[in-house]
Structures are given as structure tokens and as C-alpha cells.
Amino acid sequence: MNKNELLTISLVAVAILAGCATPDRNARLEDARSSYNDAQSNPQVVNLAALELKEAGDALSKANNAWNQRQDPATVDHLAYLAQRRVAIAQESAKRKSAEADVSQAEAERDKVRLAARTQEADRSQQQTRELEQQLNELNAKQTDRGLVITLGDVLFDTDQAQLKSGGAREMQKLADVLKQNPQRTVFIEGFTDSTGSDSHNQELSERRANAVRDTLLNLGISGDRITTRGYGKNFPIASNANQAGRLLNRRVEIVISDQSGNIRSR
């Protein structure tokens, strides 16, 4: 056998061996394996996308089996691509669920803050109401269906006059202090008389006495837009005008204090 024949035989053998050999790696499959390993090592993906990660693992197993069974490289590439897409889906699902959890937690925190603020506001309002009631108790305020009412009797005015006596002025100082501490509240000052005398005189006197109380509060620093006055004359008696004791009770000024929103029910 000459040299040319030996060379030909050698080349044929090499070609046969080359045709039988299988490549030792597949780039797309290795990328899929690497991506899956990264996802497996990510606690966020493991905890939030367990189902999607399992599906990615199943897809990767199919690609590995195809590779081990020496299936067509194109088939292996396709299965590896599908596995890698499953990994990406698992990662995106984990990110989305994590973001949703962050939003839910933030909303829960905001709700908690809002609830705390409302609770604090309610507590503050209740405390202010208790303090107001305590202060008004010193003025002998009475709770009525219209709100708290302070009554200034006839003894705080000179007979048939509208000028407050010193005792009435002291009461107004206390009321002014209360109103300054509760700037959202307003007052409705109402004047009343007994039935003695003419209706016109009684109407005028009731108005002048209500206005005298208003003027005192103005001088003590209470804004005029927080004060409303009205005279009712002999109307709305609270006792009989047939005797002196009843007439004394009917000659009065009532100061109605509003609620926290400044509202006062009409008579």
C-alpha cells in the first residue's frame, strides 16, 4: 500500500469520526441553565413566583433531555429558548407581585396614619368639648336642644335699662375667654322682657339689652361676625307674667353658644 492510499484511508476515518461526534456544548441551553440558576438563587422569585419557576424548571428539563438524547440542535435550541422565556416570566411575575405588595403595604401605612390622625382629632375634639363644658359650668350654662345656653337675669341690668352691671360684665369676661379659646364657635344673643308695658317698649328694651351684651363682647376682643343679636320683647316667656316672680324670670338675656361648626338651631 503506497503513501497516497494510506493518506486517503486516514482522511476517510477522520471524516467518519467527525460525523459521529456530538458537540459538547449548546450555547442557548447553557444560557437557559444560567438564567434558571440565577432565578433559583433569588428569594423573591422563589417565594413570589414558585409556580412560574417550577414551569421554567420543567421546560429546562425538556431541553436537557433533548440534549442528552442527541436530538436535533434546532430542537434543543427551541426548547432552551422556551425554558429561558419561562425563567423570564417567573422573574417578571416576582417583580410585579413584589411591587403590588409594596403598594398594598404603603396603602396600609397611609390608612394607619389617617386613622391615627382621625383618632387624634377626635380625642382633641372631645378634650376641647370637656374643657368648654367645664368653663361654661362656671357660667351656669344649660344644655338645650339648641345648644348650650347662658342666661343673664334681670338683676344684671338696672331697672328698665340696657346697661350691664359690674356682675354682668364679669360674666362676659369669662364668656369672652371661652370664645377666644374656641374660635370656631359663635353666639346668638337674645333679649326678652315681661309683658308689663307696651309691646313697642318691650321690643326696644329687649333689643337694646341684647346689643349691650354684644357690645361688651366686642370690647373684650370678640369679632362681630361671631355675634348675632335679636330682641323678642315679651314673646317666649319661661314663666307666668301673672306674678312678680314669673315676670322677673322672663326679663332676661339668653346667649346661645354654637356647635363646633358655628351652627345654631333657630328658635
Q: Which long-range contacts (CB under 8 A, 24 or more apart) does 119-124 make?
A: none
The residues spanned by each domain of the chain are 26-127, 138-257
Contact 98, 115 (CB under 8 A): no
Q: What is the reported pTM? A: 0.56
Average pLDDT, the chain: 88
CA gap 206, 232 in Å, rounded = 6
Of the candidates 233, 228, 229, the residue with the CA atom closest to the CA atom of residue 206: 233
Contact 191, 207 (CB under 8 A): yes
Successive 10-residue mean pLDDT values, the chain, 267 residues: 48 43 78 95 94 95 95 94 95 94 91 89 80 80 90 86 88 93 94 95 96 96 97 96 94 93 88
Amino acid at 214: R
Contact 188, 256 (CB under 8 A): yes
Question: Residues 49-72: pLDDT tens digits?
Answer: 999 999 999 999 999 999 999 999
CA 110 vs CA 104, 120, 124: distances in Å: 10, 15, 21
CA gap 146, 149 in Å, rounded = 8
CA 145 vs CA 43, 118, 142, 256, 258: distances in Å: 64, 27, 10, 11, 11
15 contact partners, CB below 8 Å, separation of at least 6: none
Q: Which long-range contacts (CB under 8 A, 24 or more apart) does 152-161 make?
A: 152/213, 152/252, 152/253, 152/254, 152/255, 153/248, 153/249, 153/251, 153/252, 154/248, 154/251, 154/252, 156/253, 157/209, 157/212, 157/251, 160/205
Domain 138-257 has CATH 3.90.550.40: no
CA gap 262, 121 in Å, rounded = 18
Question: Residues 152-206: pLDDT tens digits?
Answer: 988 888 888 898 888 888 889 999 999 999 999 999 999 999 999 999 999 999 9
